[in-house]
Amino acid sequence: MKRDLKEISVQLDNLNIPVMGFVLNFAKERKVSSNGNYYYSYDEGGKKSQRSRKKSKHKN
């Protein structure tokens, strides 16, 4: 994934397209969506920001 992001970044830079933000999608391709397993956020003058994620079983 890291390599793909780097390649995309280089391609956008070559086309003089600025990156204004990014989206992280933690959805599993083969799993049906379950309640509360989503995340989204955007900032337009601090108008809206919502986060809802299941707690991870792993410790940092």
18-42 pLDDT, tens digit each? 988 877 776 666 555 555 555 555 5
Within-domain flag for 58 = no
**In the chain, % of residues over pLDDT 70:** 42
Q: How far apart are CA 21 and CA 24, in angstroms?
A: 10
Q: What is the pLDDT of residue 24?
A: 72
Total count of domains within the chain:
1
Q: How far apart are CA 57 and CA 12, in angstroms?
A: 36
Q: What is the pLDDT of residue 49?
A: 46
Within-domain flag for 57 = no
pTM (two decimals) = 0.38
Range of the domain at 16: 2-25+37-52
Dihedral pair phi/psi, residue 5, rounded to 5°: -65, -40
Within-domain flag for 17 = yes
Q: Biggest alpha carbon distance in the chain?
A: 41
Other beta carbons within 10 Å of 37: 13
- pLDDT higher than 50, residue 13: yes
- Are 12 and 6 in contact, with CB atoms under 8 Å apart? no
